[in-house]
Structure 1
Amino acid sequence: MMRTAGRTHPNVEVIAPGIHFVQTPLVNWTVLSGDGTLTLIDAGYPSDLRRVSRVLDDVGGELTTVLITHGHSDHIGAVRGLLAEWPDAAVLASADELPNVTREVTHQVGVQDLLPSLWRPSVMAWTARAIAAGGLADVGVPDPRPIEPGREHRFSGHRVIPVLTPGHTPGHLMYWLPDHGVLVSGDGIVTGHPTSREHGPHVLASMFNHDDPVAHASMATVLDELPVEVLLPGHGPWLRLG
């Protein structure tokens, strides 16, 4: 299933039964459906709230869980707005990432980090769009809970295993869906970004990463150890690996 992108509706594609990949020009998220419930993996920028809500309404079901890959504004931006509609939904992230999700600390690229690259038109354009989308807004999420990496969980009828992949942020998680060979990789592995011409699985530019060597090592470890068939990245198109 593919829907046409618009002001309030991004592209939505069903990757496998109950796995909906949502792609926008700036950031992606994933919706799991089953058992009458919905699980959202990441939630876009603050300006994406209406888009996220509409996708959830179209898929249908009660939002019970929000799984966070990491606490950057473009991945948790709509969470507080969603909790106003679904106040009983649980927000889960790795223990190491919780301070970033609540904004007790902030591990995120800032304007000062971008200054050496602002001469590049793509970086300048992306920075303006990210700020307009709410990239500098207060997006701290109240009362998120830790989820245990490496242990199998079940969300909306799907087996989900969180995989700790630090580097992009200290507690970055990917979510492995072994029944379908699907890896929701957040920003630990992307396939594109508005600031780059690189395509295929790769790590974001070093200015975006908390620890760049660790980010590269995490990507290599995951791709070496997991039989990934389909990659659902935080940025760029989904990819079937051969």
Structure 2
Amino acid sequence: MCLAFFAVGVHPTYKLVVATNRDEFYQRKTQDAHFWEDHPTLVGGRDLEGGGTWMGMTRSGRISLLTNYRDPLHIDPQAPTRGALVSDYLTGPEAPDAYLQRIAQNGKRYNGFNLVMGHPDQLWYYSNYKEGVDTLPPGFYGLSNHLLETPWPKVVRGKEKIKPLLLQQTLRPDDLFTALYDEHRAAKDALPDTGLTQEREEALSSMFIKAGNYGTRCSTVVLVDHDNHVRYTERVYDLSTFAYRQNDFTFTVDPAS
């Protein structure tokens, strides 16, 4: 996952709104979102190489997502897979704050990441590029490949596009997907400097990325209303035509699941 927007406790109808783009190399083997055979209460896509996921939710209301922290000069090819940080939380019994506190003790084992997790009423945040675990107050947040709320152009642009939608009584996934499918690239003088060439920084600066053999492969929208009804919707893009197939899941959060 490389771009995520989420609103918790600020919408009149939905206690949680999540809209994300997953960026990845095109050749990396992946499954569409589904209820996992080995963990039937968990819905999410699956990385078939690392075995984890970039985002998922359970019928009991556990939810988590991960973005990479871009630092190409400090990549360890032997580091453990970051996707397991999401799936291990979703399939385990540990409270989110306790889980993140435990991960933080050995966070430097992993290549850079941001991790958001919790349940529709409360989210927590941790990055192994900062100290401490944060309890997130109600608000509207943007996250890319730097720390939470870092005002990279794609984060600023995405928040500007999505914020008006949050003023509507009813949200349509289609409108959020349309906001996420934005190929506008940032001006050269606004690009972050993460150690890549300027050309590569520019190619990765759009909300929806198309950059050769790398880019946005799927988008996901999650809406949880105040009666705990969940709509989890994923669009998976054909990487030649960018037509999409859509996977829809609806359920009601049951803490006993």
TM-score with structure 1 setting the length: 0.33
Q: Which has the larger radius of gyration?
A: 2
Between Structure 1 and Structure 2, which shows a larger proportion of strand residues? Answer: 2
Structure of higher RCO (CA pairs closer than 8 Å, 6+ residues apart): 2
TM-score with structure 2 setting the length: 0.32
